[in-house]
Amino acid sequence: MKAAVLREVGKPLQIEDVQINKPGPHEVLIRTMAAGVCHSDLHFIEGSYPHPLPAVLGHESAGIVEQVGSEVRTVKPGDHVITCLSAYCGHCESCLTGHMSLCVSPDTKRDKDDEPRLMQNGVGLPQFLNLSSFAEQMLIHEHACVAIRKDMPFDRAALIGCSVTTGVGAVIHTSNVRPGETVAVIGCGGVGLSAINGAAIAGAGRIIAIDMVPGKENLAMAFGATDFICAADTDAVKAVIEMTKGGVHHAFEAIGLSKTAEQAFNMLRRGGTANIIGMIPVGQSISLMGAAFLGEKRIQGSMMGSNRFPVDMPRLVDFYMSGRLKLDDLVSRRLKLEQVNEAFDEMKRGEIARSVIVFDA
């Protein structure tokens, strides 16, 4: 099969032939139909986060089940599915206490003595974030996908697998935004726009979108923002505090920078919560004023929107089909696999919401 392989940090992906194995007892072979190009992939390309190389990247996808292992009970051949990088085992402490997105059990991976899921010229390739979806096929654990209704378009379904689940889930699950509360979202890329959409679905009274690109205002408003701040020429923290007369109940950082994480905390009202969704590069730290904690302000991380994805993703599909989840405007461009590097170049310029690789194009 054709796949986009990262061979060296800082270099473009290469389209190469890769071999894929047969499904084990709890594994599913999927024909990839669409794969979103996510900023998280760029972190690994640029070396902000380490990963064994060479590797097939990609982790936001949807497809059709082709084969299943002998013990698979959750999906069957012909099912349309969304994948999720936070594969869960179902029996560890995290899973049994309702925190499936935090599962790190090795049971969802092949043993080191088994044949690898992906190979090239007889040598195993490490699977990227349990998926490796920049490829014509995926071989994954059954608890890394969920069946969805067949009238859902694949290119929009793929986005639910990462950016939408991450953004909407951070609002609804991680921070538990309540109707009428105030929200600020820093960064209007795919995850940030999804957080804005999630805040609107949750009934937030005021949703302030913040971005360095003034052209993102109309897009943010389309997803549910009530206000927009261009941080390129405005002190965002000061502006938010003035607009809300003291700060917001919830702030969401969707970029992955120390500076913006600090801003998210500093724009809170007393008792507010800052949620760091973006991937701050390894080794970087943030600095906060200790006295602020006397006002019961909180800062916390959010892993994949604290999802329960077998439940959440079919519901998000229904939200889209009923018009409440704004996925059409999230797709800025549809590309072929061979154009994947173009998508990352556009991402670096901050000009688009989301590019999607479509495999039937």
3-class SS letters over 222-272: HCCCCEEEECCCCCHHHHHHHHHCCCEEEEEECCCCHHHHHHHHHCEEEEE
All structural domains of the chain with their residue ranges: 2-148+331-358, 167-303
The pLDDT tens digits for 17-64 are 999 999 999 999 999 999 999 989 999 999 999 999 999 999 999 999
pLDDT of residue 206 exceeding 90, the answer is yes
Among the listed residues 59, 80, 143, 250, the single catalytic one is 59
Q: Of 40, 133, 163, 306, which one is the catalytic site residue?
A: 40
Annotation says 91 is catalytic: no
Catalytic residue of the set 162, 163, 249, 355: 162
Mark whether 40 is an active-site residue.
yes
What homologous superfamily is domain 2-148+331-358 in, according to CATH? Medium-chain alcohol dehydrogenases, catalytic domain (3.90.180.10)
Distance CA 189, CA 330 (A): 9
Residue 67: per-residue pLDDT: 98
Catalytic residue status for 103: no
* 88 pLDDT above the threshold of 60: yes
> What pLDDT is recorded for position 218?
94
Q: 43, 80, 249, 250: which one is catalytic?
A: 43
Model pTM greater than 0.85?
yes
Q: Using one digit for the tens of pLDDT, what is the confidence trace for 69-81? A: 999 999 999 999 9
Please, which pLDDT band fits residue 236 given cuts at 50, 70 and 90?
very high
The one catalytic residue among 38, 89, 95, 188 = 38
CATH, range 167-303: 3.40.50.720
pLDDT over 70 at 351, yes or no: no
Known active-site residue 26: no
39 is catalytic: no
